[in-house]
Amino acid sequence: MADYDALVIGGGHNGLVCAAYLARAGKRVLVLERREIVGGAAMSEEVFPGFRFSVFSYVVSLLRPEIIRDLDLPRHGLHILPLESTVTPLANGDYLGQWSDHDQNRRELARHSLRDAEAYDEFGRLMYQMARAVKPFLSMAPPDPASLAPRDLLGMVRIAKQLRGLGGDRFHALHKLLTMSAADYLDEWFETEALKATKSASGIIGTFLGPRSPGTAYVLLHHYMGEIDGVFRAWGFAKGGNGSVSAAIAAAAREHGAEIRTNAPVAKVLIENGRATGAVLENGDEIRAKLVVSSADPRRTFMQLVGPEHLPDEFAQAIRNFKFRGSSGKVNLALSELPNFTCLPGAGPHLRGAISISPSIDYLERAYDDAKYGEVSRRPYMDIVIPSMIDPSMAPPGKHVMSIFVQYVPYKVNGGWTDAKREAFGDAVIDTVAEYAPNIKSAILHRQVITPADIERIVGISEGNIFHGELALEQMFFLRPVPGWAQYATPVDGLYQCGSGTHPGGGVMGASGRNAAMAILKASR
Amino acid sequence: MLKTTPFHPRTAALCRSHAWRRWAGYVVASVYELNHEREYHAIRSSAALFDISPLYKYSVTGADAARLLDRVATRNVARASVGQVLYTCFCDNKGKVLDDGTIAKLDERTFRMTSAEPNLRWLGDNALGLDVAIEDVSEKTAALALQGPSSRAILQSIAASDLAALKYFGIVATTISGIEVTISRTGYTGDLGFEIWVDSRNALGLWDRMIEAGAPYGIVPAGMLALDVARIEAGLMLIDVDYVSARKALITRQTSSPYELDLGWTVNLDKGVFVGKEALSREKHAAPAWQFVGVEVDWDSLEALYLEAGLAPQLPSAAWRTSVPIYAGDEQAGYATSGGWSPLLKKYIALAHLRSEHADIGREIEIEVTVEHQRKRAAARVVKKPFFNPERKRA
C-alpha cells in the first residue's frame, strides 16, 4: 500500500514547484530534502551573524509568470525587486553602463559608439521577436522529432507553426543564433568591446564554453524572454534572497497539502519489478508511493539513486555522457562599507545593479583558455551584485553583502580542489575586484568562497554545474537529458524527473518542475 | 541623466509651469506659462519661438552625398537645387516608413538631414562604397523654430539676407547679428514660419537676439503642447503618435507605407533605385489598404451626447494622443491617433487611419467619445487635410 501518490526527491525550487502542482491537483505528495532547509541552490542563509546571503544562485532568472500566478507566490511572500542596470568597468578607468531608462541607456552607449546606440534598439527588437517565438517552448514537454507518436507529431506541428509565424528574416536570424558563437553573433551588430563582452557573458554562464565557442549565442535570448514577461519582472532580485523564492513555493505547496520533510536524505529509489515504488532513506526508512519524481540531476538520479542495473544500456550510457563540467564559483562577502569603484566613485545608482567584469571578448576568451587546461581563470569573468543595496535587510544597517559570481572555476581543477586552493581562488577574485574598487580589501569583514566542488558537496549537484548539466545546444530541448527521454518520464516505470537537468533547465525558472508535474498529471489521468 | 538643450539656461528660467517632457533624450518645455493657450495663439496671431534642438541632424557631405540621400529618401534628392529643402519619408526595403524628416541641400556636396529618430547607423549601412562622409551633428547644432504671421518681420529685422526672397521650403546661409546661421522656411505648424540652425556654442546669443527683436511683435516662447495643437490643425503626423516606425514595429500590422500615411506625394517612383522602391511601386498599383485622413466631429451630435448626461460639452484644451476607435456602421473602420479642439477653427478635429473603403472625403463615420465614463459614438466625417492652411504659409 502506497503511503503517498508521489514522492519528490529533492526540495530545490523545481522539486517544490513540481510538488506544489501535484498537490494542487489533489495528489498526496511528500518532498524529501537531504538538507536541513529547502531550496537547494536557491536558498538564503545567514552565513555570518547579521549578514544574509543567497549563497548559490543569486538572482531570479525567468521565474515563469504562470508559476507566480498559479501558486499565487506573492501571497506566500515572493517580492521581486528590480535589478535594473549593468555597469562594466573598463581597464582605462572608464565604464560602460546599460540602464533601464531608454534615453539614459542610449546616451551612455552613444558615448562609446553612436552606431551601437542605434543598433542596440534594433538588436533588442529582433531578439524580442525571436524570444517571443521560442518562449512557448519553455513551457512544453519537448517533442521528439524522431518519433511518430501523435504527441510528438502534434508538438512538432506546434513548433513549426510558431516558427513560421516568425517570418523569413527572423527565422534565418534564429538559425544563426542557434549555431553561432556569442562573439560572432554580436560582432555582426556591435563594435564596442565591453558591450559585446558583457552581453556574451550571458551565453557562457554555467557552460564550459568560451564566447567564441559555437552555440553560445542562443542563451542571449534568455534575457529577452524576461522582457516578454514584462510586468511580472522575471529577472530581478528576490527580497530576502533566493531562499525567499523557495520558501514561497514551499508555502504554496504546503497550503495545497504537500508534506515537506527536511533532513531526509534518500539513499535509493525503490524499484520492484521494473517499477519505482518509493524510496529508501539513508536512515533505512522506506517510504512507498505510486510514483517517484526526482529533482536531483540526471547523473545523481540514475547512477546513484536508481543504479545503472535498472536501466537500459543505451540510456545509462547517455546519462554517463551527459556533460556537467561545473565552471562557476562564488565569493560572498560581508562588507563594512560599499565598494568604491574607480570608474564611478561614490554610492551611485550603479551599486543597485550588476557590475560585470567583462571588459572585452578577448578577456573572457582568455579566462576560458585557462579553464580549458584545468586552471582557474587568472582574470575571471565576474558578475557582482550588492544585494543589501536592493534589499537593506540583507545586512546590518550601514553594512553590506556582496555576491560575486565567478567563471571559469573548473570542477576538474589540476591537482583537485583543496582548502588552500579554494582560498587562493578567493584571493585571486578579491585581487581582481580590487583593481576596480581599491577599498574592497579593507572593507571585507567576512568571506565565503564556493567552488564547484563545494556546490557538489553542499547542494549535491554533480560536478557543481549550476544548471544540472551544461545548457549547451547538444543538451537542450528534446536532447535534455537524453534523446527520447526529454518528456520527464524515464525508462523506469513510475519514475519521473523534474530537475534543471530536464528541459528547459537553467536558472530559477521553475519551468522544469512545472512541465514535469503537467506531464505526470496528464499520464495519470 | 537626461540632456538639456543648448537653450536650456534660457528656457529653464522661463518655464513657470515646471512642465517638462522628454524628446529624443532631451528635456524640453511642454508649456512655459501655466497653460498653453497664449503660446498657441501666438503661433496663429503673432510669433512663437520653439526650441527644436532635440531633432536628429546629420551632415552628409562628399561627391556621393546626393546619391546616398537619393537612395534612402522617397523624394528625388538628385534633382534638388541648392537652397532647397525636401520633406521626405525614409522607408525600409518593404516600403514601410522608418522615419520622416527633411533634407536640405546646402551646396552641391553638402546636405543636412533631419529626422525624428537616430539614423546614423542606417545611413552608414546604405553608404557602403559611396564617397560620402556622414556626421551626427545633433549635439553640435542647435535649432529654433519661429512660427507665426510675424515671424518674417522679426527675422528680417535681424537677419543679413533678404528673407522675402526665401521661398517656402527654401534655405539660406546668413548671419543674425554676426552669428552664422542657416534659415529655412520650414516648420511644424502649417503657418508662415522659419527654422534657424546654429552652432550650439552660439545658441544663447541667438536666443537673446531673437527675443529682443521679437518683443515689439509679441514673440512668445512656446512649448510642445501649443505645437501639438498647431500641427494637428496643419494635418502633420507625428512619429510614435500617429505612426510606428517600421524599425520599432513588433508586428507587420504596426507598419505603414507612405501611401497609407497620405504621403504618397513624397514617393517618386520615376527616379532610380532607392530603398523600398519595388515594394512601393507594387503597393501603388495595388492601392493601399489604409488612408490617413482628417476627421471633423459633428458638434451637434457631440453636444447631444453631453446633454443626455446633463452636461455641456467638455473638451480638454490640450490635444490628445491616444488611439480612439472610429466606426462605419457596426464595423470599426479605423482609429484616430491624435486630435483636439482647434481654438482657431472652432472645430473638434482629429487625425485618423481609416480603411480605404471608408476614407473618402465627406464620408460619414462615428468616433468614440467617453461622456461621464460611458462610451458613446459621436457623428463625424472625413474632411480634407490640412484643416488650416493659410495663404501666408507659402506666400
Which residues are within 8 A (CB) of B55 and not within 5 positions of it... i.e. 6 or more apart? B24, B101, B114, B115, B116, B138, B143
> Same domain for A306 and A220?
no
Q: What percent of chain A has pLDDT over 70?
A: 99
What is the pLDDT averaged over residues B137-165? Answer: 97
For chain B, the residues whose C-beta falls within 8 A of a C-beta of chain A are 1-3, 22, 24-25, 118-122, 124, 136, 247-248, 250, 252
Report residue A132's pLDDT band, with 50, 70 and 90 as the boundaries. confident
Task: With beta carbons under 8 A apart, name residues in chain A contacting B121.
Answer: 114-115, 118-119
The answer to whether residues A127 and A196 belong to one domain is: yes
* Mean pLDDT over each residue of chain A, to the nearest integer: 94
Quote the CA–CA distance of A328 and A507 in Å, as a whole number.
13
The answer to whether position A88 is within a domain reads no
Nearest CA in chain B to A100: B1
Q: Which tens digits make up the pLDDT trace of A412-434?
A: 999 999 999 999 999 999 999 99
Q: Does residue B330 share a domain with residue B216?
A: no
Report the gap between the CA of A118 and the closest CA in chain B (Å).
6
pLDDT for the residue numbered B368: 98
Looking at the predicted structure, is the pLDDT value of residue A223 above 80? no
User: A504 lies in which domain range?
Assistant: 4-43+56-79+239-323+468-523
User: Given the DSSP bridges, would you call strands A495-497 and A286-294 parallel, antiparallel or unpaired?
Assistant: parallel
Q: Are residues B314 and B210 in the same domain?
A: no
Strands of the sheet containing B26-31, edge to edge, are: B3-4, B26-31, B19-23
Question: Cα(A335)–Cα(B100) distance, rounded to whole angstroms?
Answer: 53
Residue A317 lies in a domain: yes
Q: Which amino acid is at A122?
A: E
Confidence of residue A228 (pLDDT cuts 50, 70, 90): confident
B122–A118 C-beta distance less than 8 A: yes
Closest Cα in chain B to A190: B121
Reply yes or no on whether the pLDDT at A218 is more than 80. Answer: yes
Asked whether residue A121 falls in the same domain as residue A196, the answer is yes
CB contacts < 8 Å between A and B, how many?
34
Of B25, B119, B252, the CB nearest to A107: B25
Residue B243 gets which letter from DSSP?
B
More confident call, A406 vs A163? A406
Residue B230 in this model has a pLDDT that exceeds 70: yes
Give me the mean pLDDT over the A276-300 stretch.
97
Confidence at A107, pLDDT banded by 50, 70, 90: very high
Single residue among B202, B222, B242 that ends a domain in this structure: B222
Q: Which of A205, A232, A259 is the endpoint of a domain?
A: A232
**Does position A499 have pLDDT exceeding 90, yes or no?**
yes
Which residue in A has a C-alpha nearest to residue B25's C-alpha? A103
Place of cell 506566500: A76
Please state the domain count of chain B.
Answer: 2
Domain that holds residue B167: 3-55+138-222
Mean pLDDT over each residue of chain B, to the nearest integer: 97
The verdict on residue A262 lying in a domain is yes
The 10s digit of each residue's pLDDT in A446-465 is 999 999 999 999 999 999 99
Considering only CB atoms, which residues of chain A are within 8 Å of chain B? 103-104, 106-107, 114-115, 117-119, 121-122, 125, 128-129, 167
Looking at the predicted structure, is the pLDDT value of residue A302 above 80?
Answer: yes
Q: Residue A353: pLDDT above 70?
A: yes
How far is the CA of B111 from the CAs of A115, A213, A299, B272, in angstroms?
20, 45, 66, 19
Answer yes or no: do A366 and A333 share one domain.
yes
Average pLDDT of the segment spanning B179-188? 98
Q: Output the pLDDT for position B2.
A: 84
Question: Is B49 found in the same domain as B147?
Answer: yes
Task: Identify the CATH number of the domain in which residue B49 sits.
Answer: 3.30.1360.120
B1: nearest CB among A104, A125, A167: A104
Let me know whether A278 and A193 are in one domain.
no
- Contact residues for B230 (Cβ-Cβ < 8 A; gap 6+): B40, B43, B44, B147, B188, B189, B190, B191
Partners of A113 on chain B (C-beta within 8 Å) are none
Whether the per-residue pLDDT at A227 is higher than 80: the answer is no
Tell me, yes or no, whether B181 lies in a domain. yes
Which residues of chain A have a CB within 8 Å of the CB of B127?
none
Q: Does the pLDDT at position A1 exceed 80?
A: no
CATH number at residue B375: 2.40.30.110
Altogether, the residues listed in chain B come to a count of 395
Q: Are residues B51 and B145 both part of a single domain? A: yes
Residue B58 CA to residue B133 CA, distance in Å, equals: 10
Same domain, B218 and B319: no
For residue A104, which residues of chain B lie inside 8 Å, CB to CB? 1-2, 25
CB spacing of B25 vs A119 below 8 angstroms: no
Most B-contacting residue of A114, A123, A127 (CB-CB within 10 A), to test interface: A114
Q: What is the arithmetic mean of pLDDT over A183-196?
A: 97
Of B25, B122, B124, the CB nearest to A106: B25
Do the Cβ atoms of B136 and A114 come within 8 Å? yes
Res. B128: pLDDT tops 90: yes
Q: Are residues B24 and B158 in the same domain?
A: yes
Q: From A122, which residue of chain B is nearest by alpha-carbon distance?
A: B247
Residue carrying the nine cell digits 526595403: B93
Boundary-marking domain end, from A213, A232, A251: A232
Q: What percent of chain B has pLDDT over 70?
A: 100
Report the distance separating Cα B86 and Cα B342, nearest Å.
Answer: 28
User: Which positions in chain A touch B119 (Cβ < 8 Å)?
Assistant: 118
Look at residue A238 in the predicted model and tell me its pLDDT.
94
Q: Which residues in chain B are closer than 8 Å to A167, comparing Cβ atoms?
A: 252
Q: Of A211, A232, A253, which one is at a domain's C-terminal end?
A: A232
Higher-scoring residue by pLDDT: A109, A169: A109
Query: Which residues of A fall within a CB distance of 8 Å from B137?
Result: none
**Strands (DSSP E) found in A336-399:** 354-357, 381-385
Whole-angstrom Cα distance, residue A340 to residue B319?
A: 48
Q: Which residue of A has its CA nearest to B2?
A: A104
Q: Which long-range contacts (CB under 8 A, 24 or more apart) does B316-320 make?
A: B316/B340, B316/B341, B317/B35, B317/B36, B317/B37, B317/B341, B317/B343, B318/B36, B318/B225, B318/B228, B318/B229, B319/B225, B319/B228, B319/B229, B319/B232
> Pairing relation of β-strands A4-9 and A29-32?
parallel
Contacting residues of B for A124, CB less than 8 Å apart? none
The three grid cell numbers given for residue A291, joined into one nine-digit string: 510514483
- Per-residue model confidence (pLDDT) at position B121: 96
Is there a contact between B101 and B118 (Cβ–Cβ < 8 Å)? no
Asked if residue B303 and residue B207 are part of one domain, the reply reads no
For residue A459, being part of any structural domain is answered with no
- The answer to whether A118 contacts B119, with C-beta atoms less than 8 Å apart, is yes
Residues 6+ positions from B393 with CB-CB distance below 8 Å: B168, B190, B191, B192, B193
Same-domain pairing of A308 and A349: no
The reported pLDDT for the residue numbered A159 is 87
CA distance B185 to B124: 28
Task: Check whether residue B17 and residue B155 sit in a common domain.
Answer: yes
Do residues B213 and B296 both lie within one domain? no
Indicate if the pLDDT at residue B44 is higher than 90. yes
pLDDT band at B332 (very low <50, low <70, confident <90, very high): very high
Judge if A200 and A269 occupy the same domain.
Answer: no
Interval B276-322: pLDDT, tens: 999 999 999 988 999 999 999 999 999 999 999 999 999 988 999 99
pLDDT single digits (tens) B47-88:
999 999 999 999 999 999 999 999 999 999 999 999 999 999
Give the chain B residue whose CA is nearest to the CA of A120.
B121
Q: How confident is the model at residue A83 (pLDDT cuts 50, 70, 90)?
A: confident
CB nearest to B120's CB, from A107, A114, A125 = A114
The count of domains in chain A is: 3
User: In this structure, are A424 and A376 located in the same domain?
Assistant: yes
DSSP H stretches of helix in A304-373: 313-321, 361-372
Question: Which of B168, B203, B222 is the last residue before a domain boundary?
Answer: B222
Question: Residue A10 CB: number of other CB atoms within 10 A?
Answer: 31
pLDDT (0 to 100) of residue A92? 93
Residues of A in contact with B118 (CB under 8 A): 106, 114, 117-118
What is the pLDDT confidence band of residue A234, given thresholds at 50, 70 and 90?
A: low
Asked if residue B310 is part of any domain, the answer here is yes
* ipTM of the predicted assembly exceeds 0.95: no
